[in-house]
A = this chain, B = another copy of it.
Amino acid sequence: MNFPSKLIEEAVIEISKLPGIGKKSALRMALHLLKRDESQTLLLADALTAMRTKTTYCKQCHNISDEELCLICSSPRRDTSVICIVEDTRDVLAIENTAQYRGLYHILGGIISPLMGIGPNDLHIESLIRRVEQNAEIQEIILALSPTMEGDTTAFYLQKKLKPFGKKISTIARGIPIGGDLEYADEVTLGRSIISRVSYE
């Protein structure tokens, strides 16, 4: 593309490094910013800079945080007897949006994946074990990992590591999605939903 201005070209190159953004969308965004008030671009640039330079990670759960302890870990209204183990921050947001969970989290920062060269030592597993060891009030650990090969491997590894502490260890239910059609469910999911059937009280 022949850009009319070097400055736009540089902005487009930087914008198109974002995930899911190609050159055309980046150009559209650049032209949008040029049409809007200057303050809007400055707000965006400042927000990005502040986010990147000032956020840190919660020293307890490894979630992104503005302070030493994240808003969830420092909240007095959370149930400190349950820890939900997830891969990353996006999973925390997804679970928070369900409004069905009031416990704490522990972010692994990835999952065990021999193919990608990610082993247990690359994840926040050591700190999880220390956390479980040092906090007697923890009664249950929920594994909320993706139902993939890597997710299952990680869950298996964690179960083995956490077993000695004698806490209840559970995993989120796998089954037919709500609104899903039995006919179109894959056989593995359907089979699992029969094995993990729930009795009516």
* Interface residue ranges, A against B (CB under 8 Å): 1-8, 10-11, 13-15, 17-21, 25, 27-34, 38, 40-55, 58, 63-66, 70-72, 88-90, 92-93, 96-97
Contacts and interface: CB of A to CB of B under 8 A. Distances in A.
17 contacts: A4-B71, A4-B92, A7-B47, A7-B54, A8-B51, A10-B50, A11-B48, A11-B51, A17-B44, A19-B32, A31-B90, A33-B52, A34-B51, A38-B53, A41-B48, A41-B49, A42-B53
A13 B31 CA distance: 19
Contacts of A17: 40, 44
Copies in the complex: 2
B4 A33 contact: no
A55 to B, nearest CB: 5
Contacts of A1: 93, 96-97
A5 B66 contact: yes
A32 B70 CA distance: 19
Name the prevailing secondary structure of the A interface residues.
helix
Given A4-B72, A97-B2, A88 B31 contact: yes
Contact of A4 (B5, B53, B63): B63
A154 B20 CA distance: 36
A109 to B, nearest CB: 10
A19 B10 contact: no
Contacts of A3: 93
User: Which 9 pairs across A and B sit closest by C-beta, in order of nearness?
Assistant: A41-B52, A11-B51, A45-B45, A14-B47, A14-B44, A11-B47, A2-B96, A7-B51, A45-B49
- Most chain B CB neighbours (cut-off 10 Å) among A15, A38, A45: A45
- Most chain B CB neighbours (cut-off 10 Å) among A2, A17, A52, A90: A52
B31 A89 contact: yes
A89 B4 contact: yes
Contacts of A41: 48-49, 51-53
